[in-house]
Structure 1
């Protein structure tokens, strides 16, 4: 697991918290912020996943 994967998951969690707070307090801005954080976290995690897959492929092909 690399830093982009960890940061991406962390951002997704923060986004879920903000979304829930926004819903609970009827604050659409906070809810939107949470949605955007979750989306950004998914993108960052996907980037980290791709880096990890590339690294694994290089290791496999080096054999």
Structure 2
């Protein structure tokens, strides 16, 4: 498993938590930061999945 997938999943989780905390507290800035972190994590996970697919195809 590519490290980008692991780091991406961690960012995604962090973003989800921030987004939820922002919603609970009414903090729109925190909620927006959570959405950005979540999107960045999804993108990084996608890169990791692509790398894994290429590595598997070359085997």
Pick the TM interval, shorter chain: over 0.9
Q: Which has the larger radius of gyration?
A: 1
Alpha-carbon shift at residue 4 of structure 1 (Å) = 0.2
Q: Which runs of 4+ in 1 moved over 2 A?
A: none
Q: TM-score, normalised by structure 1?
A: 0.92
Aligned equivalent of 2:30: 30
Q: TM-score, normalised by structure 2?
A: 0.98
Unaligned runs of 5+ in 2: none
Q: How many residues align?
A: 59
Aligned equivalent of 2:11: 11
C-alpha deviations, 1:6-39, integer Å up to 9, x for none? 0000000000000011001100000000000000
Unaligned runs of 5+ in 1: none
Q: Tell me how large the CA RMSD over aligned residues is.
A: 0.4
